Amino acid sequence: MFVKNLFATNMFVTVDGMTGHSDTPRSDTPRSRRERPAKPALTRAGIIAAAVEIMRDEGLRRVTMRRLAEELDTGPASLYVYVRNTAELHAAILDELLGAVDLGPVRAEGDWRERLEAVLTSCVTVLLEYPGLAQSALVARPSGTHYLALIEALLALLDEGGVPAGQAAWGVDLLLQYATATAAEHAAGDRAADTRQEWDAFTRALRGVSGRTHPHIAALAGDLLSGPPPARLSWGFHMLINGISHTPRPETDASSEISPG
Partner DNA sequence: ACCTGAACACCGTTCAAGT
Of 16-24, 43-51, 60-68, 172-180, the segment contacting a copy of itself by CB under 8 A is 172-180
Of 64-72, 96-104, 132-140, 176-184, the segment contacting DNA by CB under 7 A is 64-72
Q: Which of residues 215-234 bind a copy of itself (CB under 8 A)?
A: 215-217, 219-220, 222-229, 231-232, 234
Could you give the C-alpha distances from 58 to 50, 54, 136, 169, in angstroms and in order? 12, 6, 16, 37
Given candidates 31, 34, 84, 107, which one binds a copy of itself under the rule CB under 8 A? 84
Which amino acid type is present at position 73? D
Q: Which of residues 76-115 bind DNA (CB under 7 A)?
A: 76-78, 80-82, 85-87
244 is a contact residue toward a copy of itself (CB under 8 A)? yes
Minimum distance, C-beta of residue 141 to DNA, in the bound complex (Å) = 16
CA–CA distance, 69 with 133 (Å, rounded to integer): 20
Give the length of the chain: 261
Select the binding partner of residue 188 from DNA, a copy of itself, none (C-beta < 5 to 8 A, by kind). a copy of itself
* 3-state helix/strand/coil string of 105-130: HHHCCCCHHHHHHHHHHHHHHHHHCC
Given candidates 18, 87, 100, 108, which one binds a copy of itself under the rule CB under 8 A? 87
CA–CA distance, 228 with 225 (Å, rounded to integer): 9
Q: Which of residues 4-23 bind DNA (CB under 7 A)?
A: 4-5, 8, 10-11
Given candidates 74, 125, 234, 245, which one binds DNA under the rule CB under 7 A? 74
199 is a contact residue toward a copy of itself (CB under 8 A)? yes
* 3-state helix/strand/coil string of 129-190: CCCCHHHHHCCCCCCCHHHHHHHHHHHHHHHHCCCCHHHHHHHHHHHHHHHHHHHHHHHHHH
Q: Which of residues 27-66 bind a copy of itself (CB under 8 A)?
A: none
Could you give the C-alpha distances from 198 to 91, 186, 195, 205, in angstroms and in order? 28, 13, 5, 11
Q: Which of residues 107-146 bind a copy of itself (CB under 8 A)?
A: 135, 138-144
